[in-house]
């Protein structure tokens, strides 16, 4: 098993991509701590893990809140003794509007959840990882960090910021045994975030949701979206010893949409 006895914290682990990562990591022997705001969802994922003989823990947290982040890492450490792998996955798309219509509060909230949340949790897990001389951090960024889609400037900025954070922390951590990478998924059409976004975009464009999605998927080499399980497979690779020489990278899992 690729993550035998690893202790992992996965934010946004209650549904979608985070849930898929939690289940895949657990199937590879990891203990998984899933965090998000909706208690019922994280508890259900923790139960899915324990139902198949794994170790799961649900911790309610808003990753934009410093105290919640501290509580999350404290809970993970007190239950399992340490954190070996952190996956910063929690997030929402935020306002689907041109930049001039986005309020400062809307802007700040998106940055706080994706970028500040990743920073807060990174700074909390790194000292103990350095002491042990081992660890992995994975930031779930997006194709949006590398493309130019209208009506999501805070989201794209936060996701691009996560790539900067990934590189700088990788530079600081590389010789202390800790690897830091990012994933840039394309459209994972099965998730709530993706469906909600498709709905709003279709409305704004005055087309059907089906046509909006079809038009977008047609711009991708493979002509289809990605599954949460495909993103989880890439996450497993980057967090496992198979990726022992990979750090500071962003891996596109987008069916052929971004090429850098």
Ligand X SMILES: NC(=O)c1ccc[n+]([C@@H]2O[C@H](COP(=O)([O-])OP(=O)(O)OC[C@H]3O[C@@H](n4cnc5c(N)ncnc54)[C@H](OP(=O)(O)O)[C@@H]3O)[C@@H](O)[C@H]2O)c1
Residues tagged active-site: 155
Using CB under 6 A, which of the segments 11-19, 75-83, 202-210, 214-222 binds ligand X?
A: 11-19
Question: Could you tell me how many residues of this chain bind ligand X (CB under 6 A)?
Answer: 29
Distance CA 126, CA 107 (A): 28
- Maximum CA pair distance of the chain? 55
Binding flag, residue 255, ligand X (CB under 6 A): no
CB of 133 to ligand X, least distance (A): 29
Binding flag, residue 63, ligand X (CB under 6 A): yes
Among residues 54, 94, 152, 187, the one that binds ligand X under rule CB under 6 A: 187
Site string for ligand X, 141-160 (x = CB under 6 A): -x------------------
CB of 132 to ligand X, least distance (A): 26
Among residues 7, 22, 36, 69, the one that binds ligand X under rule CB under 6 A: 36
Q: Tell me the two tokens of residue 45.
A: 């994922």
Binding flag, residue 191, ligand X (CB under 6 A): yes
CB of 181 to ligand X, least distance (A): 15
Using CB under 6 A, which of the segments 86-94, 122-130, 165-173, 207-215 binds ligand X?
A: 86-94
Are 36 and 60 in contact, with CB atoms under 8 Å apart? yes
Distance CA 83, CA 86 (A): 7
Site string for ligand X, 100-139 (x = CB under 6 A): -------------x--------------------------
Are 137 and 178 in contact, with CB atoms under 8 Å apart? yes
Sign of CA pseudo-dihedral 187, 192, 195, 197: negative
CB of 151 to ligand X, least distance (A): 15
CB of 221 to ligand X, least distance (A): 16
For 158, other C-beta atoms within 10 Å of its C-beta total: 27
Among residues 22, 41, 59, 251, the one that binds ligand X under rule CB under 6 A: 41
Among residues 194, 212, 247, 250, the one that binds ligand X under rule CB under 6 A: 194
CB of 15 to ligand X, least distance (A): 4
The contact set with ligand X (CB under 6 A) reads 11-12, 14-18, 36-38, 41, 61-64, 89-92, 113, 140, 142, 185, 187-188, 191-194
């Amino acid at each position: 098993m690729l993550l035998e006895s690893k202790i992992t914290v996965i934010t946004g682990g209650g549904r979608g991509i985070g849930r898929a990562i939690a289940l895949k990591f657990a199937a590879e022997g990891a203990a998984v701590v899933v965090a998000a705001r909706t208690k019922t969802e994280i508890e259900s994922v923790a139960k899915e893990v324990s139902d198949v003989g794994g170790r799961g823990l649900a911790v309610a947290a808003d990753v934009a809140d410093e105290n919640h982040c501290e509580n999350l890492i404290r809970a993970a450490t007190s239950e399992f003794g340490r954190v070996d792998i952190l996956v910063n996955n929690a997030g929402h798309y935020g306002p689907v509007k041109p930049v001039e219509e986005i309020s400062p509060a809307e802007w700040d909230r998106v940055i706080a959840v994706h970028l500040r949340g990743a920073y807060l949790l990174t700074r909390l897990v790194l000292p103990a990882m350095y002491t042990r001389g081992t660890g992995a951090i994975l930031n779930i960024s997006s194709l949006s960090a590398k493309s130019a889609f209208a009506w999501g400037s805070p989201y794209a900025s936060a996701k691009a910021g996560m790539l900067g954070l990934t590189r700088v922390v990788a530079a600081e951590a590389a010789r202390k045994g800790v690897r830091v990478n990012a994933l840039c998924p394309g459209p994972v059409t099965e998730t709530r975030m993706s469906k909600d976004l498709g709905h709003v975009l279709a409305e704004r464009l005055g087309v059907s949701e089906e046509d909006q999605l079809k038009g977008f998927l047609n711009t991708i080499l493979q002509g289809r979206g990605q599954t949460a399980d495909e993103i989880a497979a890439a996450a497993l690779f980057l967090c496992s010893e198979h990726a022992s020489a990979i750090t500071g990278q962003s891996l596109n899992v987008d069916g052929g949409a971004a090429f850098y």
